[in-house]
Amino acid sequence: MRTRDLRGVLAIEESVYTRPWSHRLFADELSQRKSRIYRTAWVDRDIVAFAGLMLIEEDAHVNNIAVAPAWHGRGIATVLMLDLTRSAIERGSRHLTLEVRVGNEPALALYRRFGMAPVGLRPNYYAETGEDALVMWARSIDSDTYQARLASIEAELPPELSVTW
């Protein structure tokens, strides 16, 4: 993701979140290249999804992941998670964490596929709705076993989906 991508990113952000991040917040995140990884997913000339990760020592924290509503259910979030996870491992991360709305079943299914398990609850985490957040972790993402999990997930993707630089 680059600053010039933010118009498309913000359009998705505003369409899927009740309290979207601002242009300034995204710009600040993008300026922290050593501790942040942000990606966009494109179809032709359109940004259809994005994701972000914060690196803290051996932990990688998924800050956000969003897919434009018209593109839900096509595997794009899976590709972004694969890319973020592999990038985190390359940068020395050993564990992956995030918070997710307790009622967001599609996201929960995605994260479980990546070996993430609930470890706690943050009550009223989403102030705009009062919803709780489930805290999830995947440990030892740098292990051979986890690499096999990632390879299995990637093998199940439709052939038209891939990570390109």
The catalytic residues are: 99, 111
H-run or E-run covering 113? helix 105-113
State phi, psi for 46 to the nearest 5 degrees: -115, 135
Tokens of residue 34, six digits: 């050593």
SS3 letters across 62-93: EEEEEECHHHCCCCHHHHHHHHHHHHHHHCCC
H-run or E-run covering 108? helix 105-113
- Beta-bridge mates of residue 64: 52
